[in-house]
Structure 1
Amino acid sequence: MIEQRQYRYEQVIQKIEETIQILQLKPGDKIPSVRKISTTLNVSTTTVFQAYSIMEDRGLITPRPRSGFVVSGKREGTSSSGKGIIPLPEFVNVYAMERIMMKNTRKYGVINFSILAPVNELLPIAKINKAMQAAIKEVAIDNYQYPFLEGHPRLLSQVALHSFEWNKRILPDDILITNGCLEAISLCLDTVTRRGDIVAVESPSYHAILQCLESRGLKALSISVDPATGLNIDELEVALMHNKVSACVFMPSCHNPTGASMPEENKIRLVKLLGERNIPLIEDDALGELYFGATRPLPAKAYDTYDNVLYCSSFSKTLPPGFRIGWVAAGKYQAEIEKHKFSNNISTNSLLQDAIGRYLEGGTYNAHLKKLRAAMKVQHIKYKEAILRHFPEIIKLSSPSGGFSFWIEFPEQLDITEMQKVALMKGISFCPGHIFSPSDRFKNYIRINSCPLFNAKIDSSLAIIGNLAKSMLLKD
């Protein structure tokens, strides 16, 4: 039995590393199975899976379908820009690619691995409907008129409670309700940038953020993401020395598409690095509640003593995504952001705001989040096992710390675009990697989202994707 002074997964990692060293295991040698480690160390299989995932990201072990894990001969990972390389800013060109992908998904997609939102089966639909009916019945007259610009008072109070455990709490007056997290990010960009400016983004980066840059004529400065620790701050610091950066847009927690989360000390360093240079940090925390660990990772905003973080989040990943209710707390930039909001669309739907506010007042949201996270952990394990079973052995698979996504690297010679076309004709959609880059990088990557509830149909669809990849690699 292992001691309790460290996180259990950390001690599992330590024990396996000691075993590899003592037995002088070579690349390709098999390590003990998940079940055996679980029994020997008296820990759950989930803890062992977490430890093995971290070791996989560190390049220590590699999964082998139907064989468990073996010692790796090289570093495994999914993102690297190379030491000593200074990233250069570039104009973004992803809209056309994304539009075609979304159009084809709607036209052909039956099994949709592209969607990044919880399915209805995991949402509190009955309670949300009850809150909606109450909003319509009790204050119909108010909700049918233009609402307050900043948002419904009921919802603002509930969102402010979101920061209760932060060192620096957010007050209701610090918040603006938006049409989803993406509008919040867009308003931030409109406030702190001008056409032609340079904006630092992660590489890979959520494709909708890249589209926001493209539509505003902004240049993207791509900073690499470590699959285990998130944003490469050393690389960012070097890039800031050589470029005049107007803003940064990052996802420090549950990054999309890799699922990586920055350690607390890295978030603190990031806030300090940008705060001292007065470079606005636009923080996308839409997936932050979907962590797999024991505690919710605090956002960078929680450490913001410079009033320099523009915090953007949303209920679209935890409550009905169709409501499109998000918010922004932008500190010293808040007044200017409210001006842009008013000129764009005056306000956000009052009825939906009131309904979400009433639901949150009911006090069941935290219990729902706990249930949702547990369900997504199960989804994650089932999807990962199926991917390792069906896909080529030579893939590199991310080990997310939260969220809905798997970021998968294939050999460079595989034509992902052609594979996507064939998959769509078979009624299966996924996101090709190149839309997560401003200049067509990641051509041999795909993102698979584990949102659809796992069943035999999902398993067979993943098998189809895996078989397509195998057959195309054989041809090459």
Structure 2
Amino acid sequence: MAREILYLKIARIIEEQIHIGSLKTGEKLPSIRTVQKIYGISINTVKQAFLELESKSLIESKPKSGYYVSNFFDTRLALPSISKLHLSDKEKTPEDLISKVFNTLTDKNITQFSLGVTDKSMLPIAKLNKGINKVLRQLDDSGTGYEPAQGNLNLRRNVAKWSFTWGGNLTEKDIVTTSGALNALFYALITVTKPGDTVAIETPLYFGILQMIKSLGLHIIELPTHPVTGVSLEDLKKVLPQISACCFVTNFNNPLGSCMPEENKKEVVRLLTQHNIPLIEDDLYGDLFFGASRPKPCKAFDKEGIVMWCGSVSKTLAPGYRVGWVAPGKFKNKLIRKKLLHTISSPPLYQEVIADFMEHGRYEHHLRGLRNTLYSNYLQFQRTIEEHFPENTKISKPQGGFVLWLELDPKIDTALLFDIAIQQKIGFAPGRMFTQHDQYNNCMRLNFGLKWDDKVENSLKKLGLLIKQQLYEIISN
């Protein structure tokens, strides 16, 4: 175990050097023997570290020459822009656009870059089906009875144990189960806010969260968000007197893929604790990391119970099971009362199935394969976009999850482009869906959690060609 931790540590150091540009694309790495001497470790440990980096396509070996930083990681495309802080702009909800996109999701002939789930080929469906049969045999009432309002004990126990992967110190008493992560966010919001209150969020942000917050009669402040490091702390400080709660996706924001650095997370918790402002933390994507280890959520630094940590298996294991949870901190009793009022009980069957899957180590095994597949897909998407989209395209560099954020030429309106692409059986999520303001009109979100095959590759190439044609027509006119 000690050796495993050591080789991952060495791999992470080299990976960070590649990320920040200390080791550049095509540059030769120090030899295995040199790395061994620098860190005072064994040759085998260095080889393991290099294999880890090679498996993620960060480095490549050349016979009789050594290891080099892979061309796969490099991109000549810039990062997307950061929006400005809007405090007085008129809101303009994109509900018609959201409905239009959702109306296309049932067409099996469309390449659905617009969906926010991984392809079913990446999910352990056969194993889950076996789990259902096993649980049905074991449950006294075959899952037809009520659970306590706090939720299934087995699931709560396993989620608490799973929190050890990020240094969490939770027990089953700290967890409340929900019908997916969005339901967890809903309970958290109605627990700590009332109509008329203001909530701070990232921007751009998943439209489902935006719509839910608005439906509760709450006001929204969208905080500028860096595509790599997440929410702007300076802008957060400016709005603290105006807000009643924050709702952040700190690990691999949807759609940017940003991951807040640990120091920023600590500072967010410190600021919000100081002002007694609850943080509703959506950690839905935290297990889908591309690095050497899982990033900690803000909950890991929460001493006063102000962080309400939300999660689910909807993006990693079984979207339709609607199994989620929240660790509500000091708001637990109030949240359980809200759940009792709205739901009475969560369905026990699927909670038991997920608990069983997590309990016997299958979840971690499944995640390892899923992360490798998603990272490989990301590199394929990045390469294809670089080769076939206009040169001034800007692209996010997600450190986990399975969505890409693209910023196109300002002349392109992706809402109009969507209509053209759908005629060619290609779907994507126009950027305007991810904000309440009139912005991101030249942006789009693409899901790379699809099974990479000729159809997906050709659809991506065709989308790049459509954008070039649109741009040519606009300039010609």
What's the counterpart of residue 55 of structure 1?
none
Deviations 1:376-434 (A, max 9, x none): 11111111111112111110011001000110000111121111011112221110001
Structure-2 residue corresponding to 1:60? none
SS in 1 for 2:121: helix
Q: In the alignment, does 2:283 pair up with 1:285?
A: yes
Shift of the alpha carbon at 1:354?
1.0
Aligned partner of 2:264 among 263, 266, 282: 266
Task: Tell me if 1:218 matches 2:229.
Answer: no
**Correspondence list, 1:171-186, <5 A:** 171-186=171-186
**For 1:136-157, what per-residue CA distance to the aligned partner results, in whole angstroms no more than 9, with x for missing partners?**
1221515111222111111111
In 1: Cα distance, 2:289 partner to 2:399 partner: 6
Partner residue in 2 for 1:366 = 364
Partner of 1:105, secondary structure, is: coil
Distance 1:351 1:112 in 2: 30
Alignment partner of 1:244 out of 242, 245, 249: 242
Corresponding position of 2:198: 198
Distance 1:166-1:234 versus aligned 2 partners, 3 A rule: same
The residue aligned with 2:27 is 37
Letter in 2 for 1:370: R
* Secondary structure of residue in 1 paired with 2:325: strand
The answer to whether structure 1 residue 333 and structure 2 residue 331 are counterparts is: yes
Counterpart Cα distance in 1 of 2:12 and 2:131: 43
Indicate the percent of aligned positions where both proteins have the same amino acid: 33
Q: Which residue of 1 aligns with 2:150?
A: 150
Q: In the aligned structure 2, how far is the partner of 1:108 from the partner of 1:434?
A: 25
Q: Distance in 2 between matches of 1:267 and 1:163?
A: 17
> Given the two structures, how large is their TM-score scaled by the length of structure 2?
0.85
- Tell which deviates more after alignment, 160-169 or 359-368: 160-169
User: What corresponds to 1:468 in structure 2?
Assistant: 466
Alignment root-mean-square deviation, CA: 2.5
**Using the alignment, how far apart are the partners of 2:151 and 2:19 within structure 1?**
47
Q: Which moved more, 1:124-133 or 1:257-266?
A: 124-133
CA contact under 8 A between 1:420 and 1:430: conserved in structure 2?
yes
Match of residue 393 from structure 1: 391
- Assess, with a 3 A threshold, how the Cα gap between structure 1 residues 259 and 196 changes in structure 2: closer, same or farther: same
CA drift of 1:86 comes to 6.7
Does the 8 Å contact 2:187/2:338 carry over to 1? yes
1:178-198: CA deviation from partner (whole Å, max 9, x where unpaired): 010000001111111111211
- Distance, in Å, in 2 between the alignment partners of 1:330 and 1:17 is 41
CA distance in 1, matches of 2:465, 2:11: 45
Alpha-carbon distance in structure 2 between the residues aligned to 1:441 and 1:372: 33
Q: For residues 92 and 250 of structure 2, what CA distance do their matches in structure 1 show?
A: 22
1:23-422 to structure 2, matched below 5 A, reads: 34=25, 36-37=26-27, 44=53, 49=58, 76-82=78-84, 87-88=87-88, 93-107=93-107, 110-141=110-141, 143-164=143-164, 169-240=169-240, 243-422=241-420
1:12–1:48 contact (8 Å) kept in structure 2: no
Gaps of 5+ in 1: 19-31, 51-62
Q: Distance in 2 between matches of 1:229 and 1:148?
A: 39
Deviations 1:85-119 (A, max 9, x none): 67458657243332222113335862111122222
Q: Specify every segment of 5 or more residues in structure 2 that has no aligned partner in the other structure, as ranges.
A: 1-8, 33-49, 60-70
Deviates more, 1:110-119 or 1:446-455: 110-119
Relative distance call for 1:474 and 1:312 in structure 2 (3 A) is same
CA contact (8 A) 2:257 2:397 kept: yes
In the alignment, the residues of structure 2 paired with residue 108 and residue 319 of structure 1 have an alpha-carbon distance, to the nearest angstrom, of 22
In the alignment of these two chains, the number of paired residues is 435
TM-score of the pair, normalised by structure 1: 0.85
Q: Say which SS state the counterpart of residue 147 (structure 1) adopts.
A: coil
Judge conservation of contact 1:177–1:327 (CA < 8 Å) in 2.
yes
